Amino acid sequence: MTRSDGTILHPGFTPPYILERLREHGSPRQRRCAEATLTRDRGFRAARGPQRAARKPEASAPGRPARYIHSAEHRETLPGRLVREEDQPGGDDPAVEEAYRWLGATYRFFWEVFERHSIDANGMPLIGTVHFGQDYANAFWNGAQMVFGDGDDELFRRFTIAVDVVAHELAHGVTERESGLVYAGQSGALNESLSDVFGSLVKQFHRGERAAQADWLIGAELLTEAVQGRALRSMAEPGSAFDDPVLGRDPQPAHMDQFVVTQTDNGGVHINSGIPNRAFYLAAQALDGYAWEVAGQVWYATLRDSRLSPDIDFAGFAALTVDNADRSYGRQSREQQAIRDAWQAVGVRV
């Protein structure tokens, strides 16, 4: 994701407002970890392009992933040392095994649900790096690969532990390849929301859950018992994921009436994503069944729609979802009406 000045933007999973709050209210060690994570993230956002593997990984045949897992060994050089490739036997490093497993689960979802062959639809290798930095409390997509920190083990567990976190980062690559949504303002919030949508769908697909059975939480396994919260985000109830003396209270709005106007976080991309997140949740609940069968198909078709401009706002995206539902299921169909109603329920006019 590139700004007009050529600067690469690497969206991180942990919102900066959480890290900033932790820097002010955490223990001395937590403050150091938060400051180090924020400093690294600012450095990545100023990078002039991703670092790439010395040996070019090979693509895979359709229907099969090509996973390459590396260890940064607590340094900050990417991709790090290659520790596991496709079809190699597993080892005893949980982060390596989780990255391998969840990248495979995400590939399987995109292949079986959308017939998409990896990030670029052409078998792009799935490159992941674990054990990045010291107590790095984040994960990100850098334009070429996924990167996962180990967290501080006080508030945050390792970032490979949750399938939706891994899928969220891979989905940023899909969005980058399909639409190049500008990572700022409403288009940036849609970018984050799409990663949450697909992250949640991958988790539901892996578990075989219907929409009514899913928890609709993002990063539920990531927070330790020391945190008063359920996850980093809730798609069903934005603003309710956590309320903690150290991390503060979840600031996500669930309706356009509470839309946050801010210059931080690239114009609130992690905050205002709660609005389209809830719209997807409401549509999936109204349609029942498996969320990837109708709502997921419509959102994916919209992501790939040639009319989706990089700087589109919520209303423009909503209109395209309604139109794609019309194309697939018919005007005034139950499916189209459910999606229209979902957007109107969060204050987005369609």
Q: Give the residue numbers marked as catalytic.
A: 169, 270
* Local structure of residue 38 (DSSP, 8 states): H
Q: Are 246 and 21 in contact (CB under 8 A)?
A: yes
Using DSSP, state whether 213 is helix, strand or coil.
coil
Give the list of residues 6+ apart from residue 276 with CB closer than 8 angstroms, or none.
Answer: 189, 190, 193, 314, 317, 346, 348
Q: How many residues does the chain have?
A: 350
What count of other Cβ atoms lies within 10 Å of the Cβ of residue 56? 8
* Local structure of residue 12 (DSSP, 8 states): B
Taking alpha carbons only, the member of 282, 330, 276 closest to residue 303 is: 276
Q: Are 233 and 219 in contact (CB under 8 A)?
A: yes
Q: Are 319 and 350 in contact (CB under 8 A)?
A: yes
